[in-house]
Amino acid sequence: MFRRRSHKDFQQEIEFHIELEAERLKAEGVSEQGARAAALRRFGNVTAAVERYYESRRPVFLDRLLADGRFAVRNMAKHPVVSIVAILSLAAGIGCAAATLTIRNAIFYNPPPLYSTPAELSFLRTVSLDQPRPQGVPGLEIYLEWRERPEMVAGIAAGVPPRVTNIRSSDGSDEALVGAVSPSLFTVLGVAPLLGRVFSGTGEGEAVIAYRTWQIVLHGRADVIGSQVWIDNRAFTVVGVMPEQFWFVRMGPAPAVWISLDATPIRRNETLDVIVRRAPGVSSSTLEQALQTSIDRYAGSLPEGERDIRGIVEGVEGTPVGREIAPPIVWLFGACVMLTLLISCTNVAILMIAEWTAREREIAIRASLGASRARVVRLLLTESTLLALVGAGLGVAATFVIRGLIFHKSALGSRAFYDLSIDPWILINTALIALAAGLLVGLAPALYETRGLQTNPLRAMRSDRIRQRWRHALIVVEITVTIALLVVTSTMVDAYRRNFSMNMGFDVAPLVEAQIDAPDGNSTQDIVDRLSASPNVASVAAASAVPLMGRGELQRVASENGGATVAANRIFVGQGFFSTLGVAIQQGREYSRVESPNVVIVNETLANLMWPGRSPIGMRLWNAGKNYEVVGLTANYISSMLGRPLPSFYVPLSATTDSGRIVLVVRSKGDPASVIQTVREQVRATSPVHVPTTVTTVRGILNQIGEEIMTVVYPMSVLIAVGTLMTTTGIYSILAFAVTRRSRELAVRMAVGATTKDVLRAVGIHSARLIALGIVCGVGMTFGLSRLAQGKGGVFDSPSAGVFVVPVLIIVVVGALAAWMPSRRALAINPSVLLRSE
C-alpha cells in the first residue's frame, strides 16, 4: 500500500543530495566551501523544489482552506463577543425550530406509535351542517354494512366514544376511560398486547386494559391476566394489557379500558369511531365515494333538515389534541419557526457586516499585497461558514435541550403517548437551512465589501452610506419580525390560557356535571329530585347540553315567520338551569318546574343579533315553523373550550323531549368532588338496570383539556423567549455598532463646538427614527398575520392595543440603551485623540 511520504523525508533527501554533490566536487579538487556553494548552485532553488513537491502532494485549495480556517478561528477568538452572539443566535434558532417542529409533528402529523403500516389505515367520519368538525359515523347500520365489504376494506373495527366511569378491582377503585370497541380492533391496528391476549370471539365479559390502568388501578400486579375488574358494577376478566404507548381515539390522562362492542348494548344511532384498513389498491378517495353512498342511504331515513351529511375519509395521523386545536395553529407554528430562524439569520448578517466593516483596512492591505477579490471573498466566506457550522452543531445540541425543557415544563399526563424522539430529517433540514442562510448572509456583505478592491484597494475604504442602508434595513426587518412574533404568539398563548383559566361566564368551582345514558326518559325528573334532596347538593338542573359536556343543535331562527334567518344554538334546559350554573338572568325570568312549551329564553348575543338595541322580552322567535315567546334574557356564557359565546336560545326541557341521554349540572355545597359519588349513588338508585354514567367536576374537565392544550401551545412560549433574547441582542449590537461608527463624526462635531446634548440628540433622533419605522412595520405585519390566521379559522381575537405595549417597550428600551451607551463612550474620549488615531 502506498504510504504518503512526509515532507520532511523529501527535504532530507535533497539535503543528502547536496552533500553527495559537494563531496564529488571536493573529490574533483574544489575547496570545501566552494564545493558546497557549487552544489547548491547546481541544485537551483531548494525551496522551490520543496514547494513544488509540497504542492504536487495536495490540492492547493485545501491548503488555503486550512489556512483560512485557522485564520477564521483566530479571528473569532479575537472578537469573542461577536462570534459568541452570532453562534448562539444560530444555535438557538436551529434548536427552537427543530424542537418546535418535532412537537408539531408529534401532535399534528405523526401517526400513533405502534400502529403497523399506519398509511393503510383510515378513519371513516362525517361532517354535517351543525357539526362542521369531523365526527364518527352515525348509526350502527353503516358499520355493519361495511363489515361485509372485503373488496374495499381488509379490516374494519369500530369504537363507541369512551366514557369516564368507575372501575373497581380487588385493589381499589378509580375513574377510568372505558371504551367499547370491536374485538377485531387490535388486529386491524396491528398492535400486539404487552401481556396476555386480545379479545377472543365476541369478547363477552373480557377487558383489555391500558398499561396505565394496569399500573394505577391494578398496581402493576404480575398476575393481572385473569383477574377481575368491575366496571359500572359489571364484572370483567382482564385478558390483556396493551403497551404503554398505545392509544386509540382518546389519549386523555385517565387510564383506559377496552371492552367488547359486540357484547355491549349500544343505541342504534350511536356515533361510532370507525377505522378501516384499506384493501390493497383502494385509495382514500375511492373509499370516500363508497362511504358517501352508504351515508346517503342512511340519511334518507332521517328527518328533513338533518340529511345533509357528508362522509370523509381521514388518515390516522395526529392526536385528539391536534384535531381539537384546528389547523391555524399548525400554520402558525410554521410561521413562528420561520420568523425565529429569520431573526437568527438576520442577527448573523448584522454581526458579519459589523465585523467586516471594522476590518476594511485589513481587507485593503490584503488586496494591496496581491490577494485577488476571489481570495478575499473566500476568506470572509470561510469565516461565516465556520460560524454557521459551529452554530449548527450547537443548534443540534440545543434542540435536545429545548425539547427537554418543553417536555419537562409541560406537566403532560399523557406524555407516554407522544413519540417525541427528534426526527433526524427535521434536524438536518433546519441545520441546512441555517447553514445556507449563514453562507448567504456571509456572501452578500463579502461581495459588497470587496467591490472595486482591484482597481484601488485603498479606495475601497469609502463612505459608509450603502452599508448604513443595509444596517438600517436589517434593524427595521428585525424589529418588524420581533413584534410580529411576540404579539402573535403571545396573543395566541394568552387566548388559550384565558380559555384554560377563563371566565366562562360563571363560576366553575362548585360545579359537577354528569352525563347519563338513560334508557327511559322518565327517570330524569326523578334523578333531579333525588339529587336536590342530597345534603351536599345546593341545586341541580337538567339540560340537553351543559358547558363542556354535550352540544346544542344548530338551528335557523327568525324574528318573523319566513323572515331572514340567523343560525343559533338550541339547548333544552330544565328548571333552575341558569341559577344552578350561576349565569345571570338579565331580563325576564327563568323556567319554572312546569313550563309552557311555547316560551324561549335567549342569550345576549342572539338578542343583539335579532333585536339590536331593544328588549327581547315579549318578542317572537320563529324556529322550524313554530313560534316562541321570549320570556327571558340571559347573560352569555362559554360552553366549549376555545369557544366564544354562540347565539343561543333555550327551550324548556320536558318529558316529551327525546332524551336518550341527559346531562345534569349540579351545584355543590362544599367540596364538589364529594358530589361525584352522590350522583353515582342516586343514579343507581333510580334505575333497576345498569345506567352508564359519566360524572366529573367542571374544573376537572377544564384542567384536563387545558393541560393538553398547553402542551401544544407551550413550545410557543419558548419560541417567544428565545426570539426576544436573540432579537434584543441583535438590535442592540447593530444600533450600538452604528453609533460607534459615527465616533469620528461625533468627535468632529464636538471639536467644532457641538454640546454633548446636541450630539446625543442627533444620535437619539436617528435611532428613534429607525425604531419607529420598525415598530410601524411590525404592527402592520402583526395585523396582517392575525388576519391571515383568522381567515384560516383561528381561535384568537385580533390583537388589542394592549398586547403591543410590552414588545414595543422592550424594543424602545433596548434601542435607547444601544444609542446612549456607545455615544457616551464616544463622547468621553477627547476629540483630538480620536481624530489623531485615524
Partner 1 sequence: MSIRKRADREYSAHLQGTLDLLILRTLVPGPQHGQHIARAIQDQSDDVLIVDHGSLYPALQRMEERGFVEAEWGISDNNRKARFYTLTRKGRKELTREENEWRRIASAIARILGPESSKA
- Residues in contact with partner 1 by CB under 8 A are 2, 5, 10, 13-14, 16-17, 19-21, 23-24, 42-46, 48-49, 52-53, 56
Nearer Cβ to partner 1 (15/529): 15
Shortest approach of partner 1 to residue 32 CB, angstroms?
A: 15
Shortest approach of partner 1 to residue 42 CB, angstroms?
A: 6
The residue type at 604: E
Question: 817 near 728, Cβ under 8 Å?
Answer: no
Per the rule left: phi > 0, alpha: psi between -120 and 50, beta: everything else, 774 is alpha
Nearer Cβ to partner 1 (62/222): 62
Shortest approach of partner 1 to residue 1 CB, angstroms?
A: 12
Which spans in 116-242 are helix H? 140-147, 185-189, 211-216
Cα separation, 309 vs 127, in Å, equals: 6
- C-alpha closest to that of 450 among 373, 355, 365: 373
Q: What angle do CA 374, 375, 379 make, to 5 degrees?
A: 115
Shortest approach of partner 1 to residue 378 CB, angstroms?
A: 27
Per the rule left: phi > 0, alpha: psi between -120 and 50, beta: everything else, 375 is alpha
Shortest approach of partner 1 to residue 367 CB, angstroms?
A: 30
DSSP single-letter state for residue 776: H
Nearer Cβ to partner 1 (51/529): 51
Nearer Cβ to partner 1 (63/145): 63
C-alpha distances (whole Å) from 93 to each of 88, 271, 355, 532 are: 8, 45, 21, 58
Shortest approach of partner 1 to residue 24 CB, angstroms?
A: 7
Shortest approach of partner 1 to residue 60 CB, angstroms?
A: 15
Nearer Cβ to partner 1 (17/472): 17
Shortest approach of partner 1 to residue 59 CB, angstroms?
A: 15
- Residue whose entry in the numeric block shows the C-alpha cell 558546497: 36
Sign of CA dihedral 609, 611, 613, 615: negative
Shortest approach of partner 1 to residue 33 CB, angstroms?
A: 19
Nearer Cβ to partner 1 (52/197): 52
Please tell me the number of Cα atoms within 13 Å of 551 on its side-chain side: 13
DSSP single-letter state for residue 120: G
Nearer Cβ to partner 1 (37/768): 37
Residue 195: how many CB atoms within 10 A of its CB?
Answer: 16
SS3 state at 771:
helix
Nearer Cβ to partner 1 (45/170): 45
Shortest approach of partner 1 to residue 31 CB, angstroms?
A: 18
Shortest approach of partner 1 to residue 65 CB, angstroms?
A: 23
Cα separation, 349 vs 351, in Å, equals: 5
Shortest approach of partner 1 to residue 15 CB, angstroms?
A: 10
Shortest approach of partner 1 to residue 18 CB, angstroms?
A: 8
Q: What angle do CA 227, 229, 231 make, to 5 degrees?
A: 160
The residue type at 837: S
Shortest approach of partner 1 to residue 36 CB, angstroms?
A: 14
Nearer Cβ to partner 1 (38/571): 38
Nearer Cβ to partner 1 (58/787): 58
Shortest approach of partner 1 to residue 41 CB, angstroms?
A: 10
Shortest approach of partner 1 to residue 45 CB, angstroms?
A: 6
SS3 state at 126:
strand
Cα separation, 406 vs 402, in Å, equals: 6
Nearer Cβ to partner 1 (16/425): 16
Nearer Cβ to partner 1 (14/192): 14
- C-alpha closest to that of 524 among 705, 413, 658: 658
Cα separation, 89 vs 86, in Å, equals: 5
Q: What angle do CA 154, 156, 161 make, to 5 degrees?
A: 160
Question: 490 near 720, Cβ under 8 Å?
Answer: yes
Question: 730 near 354, Cβ under 8 Å?
Answer: no
The DSSP-derived string for 197-215 is ----TT-TTEEEE-HHHHH
Segment (H or E) for 257: strand 256-260
- C-alpha closest to that of 196 among 179, 209, 212: 209
Nearer Cβ to partner 1 (46/440): 46
The DSSP-derived string for 617-671 is TT-EEEETTEEEEEEEEE-----STT--PPPEEEEE--TTS--SSEEEEEEESS-
C-alpha distances (whole Å) from 268 to each of 140, 258, 271, 543 are: 6, 20, 9, 22
Question: How much helix, strand and coil, in percent to the nearest 5, is found in the chain?
Answer: 55, 20, 30
Nearer Cβ to partner 1 (20/765): 20
C-alpha distances (whole Å) from 644 to each of 505, 648, 791 are: 10, 12, 17
The crossing angle, in degrees rounded to 10, of helices 523-533 and 672-686 is: 140
Nearer Cβ to partner 1 (36/467): 36
Nearer Cβ to partner 1 (21/270): 21
Shortest approach of partner 1 to residue 2 CB, angstroms?
A: 7
Residue 494: how many CB atoms within 10 A of its CB?
Answer: 15
Shortest approach of partner 1 to residue 62 CB, angstroms?
A: 18
* Dihedral, CA of residue 714, residue 715, residue 721 and residue 727, to nearest 10: -150
